[in-house]
Amino acid sequence: MLEAKLWDNPCPFTFRINYLALLYNTPLYGWISDEYGLKRPEYVVLYSLALADGGSARDVSRTSGFPKNTLSRAITQLEKLGLIKPRSKAPGGRRTQALYLSDKGWALIHETRPTFEAQEKRMLKALSEGERQMLFELMSKVVREAHSWADELPFEAINENEEG
């Protein structure tokens, strides 16, 4: 069945995307869970803040796909674990809370992120450096145009060819 999904699939690109995401995420988040007792949404918040400290729950939701209530719970838990700074002393009132990693949170990121990086590197070992750059360019191009297709489904398009 894997062969059919790879080579006989009307959606070869999105299948590859989903399949690679699966092979990448499953072991890594399983490891995070076993080793650090953090669920995926919790670690996602940490990872997100490590890239954009001071971001809000809404930012994480928008960029990760988790609904805001799931993240609300995750953030409460991270605060309880001392992995992010307490929110009470947030400067601008209460709405749109800026979240910051604590030292402990940073330590955890520095300890775990290399494994994520190494796994990504391993995934791309099949490619030469030039190929990796090309792949990065192409994926970036697709992502940059995401706004044009991500909002609604192509219902009107399904019965016509709009491009050759």
C-beta of 93: minimal distance to a copy of itself in Å?
Answer: 20
- Map the footprint of a copy of itself across residues 14-43, applying CB under 8 A: 14, 16-28, 31
C-beta of 142: minimal distance to a copy of itself in Å?
Answer: 5
- In the complex, the residues that contact DNA under the rule CB under 7 A are 39-41, 56-58, 61, 66-70, 72-73, 75-76, 87, 92-97
- The listed partner (DNA, a copy of itself, none) that binds 57, CB under 5 to 8 Å by sort, is DNA
Among 33, 64, 77, 102, contact with a copy of itself (rule: CB under 8 A): 64
Give the C-alpha separation, 49 to 57, whole Å.
10
Q: Binding to a copy of itself by residue 92, rule CB under 8 A?
A: no
**For DNA, the closer CB: 77 or 124:** 77
- The listed partner (DNA, a copy of itself, none) that binds 39, CB under 5 to 8 Å by sort, is DNA
**For DNA, the closer CB: 34 or 156:** 34
Name the residue among 136, 138, 117 with its Cα closest to residue 24.
Answer: 117
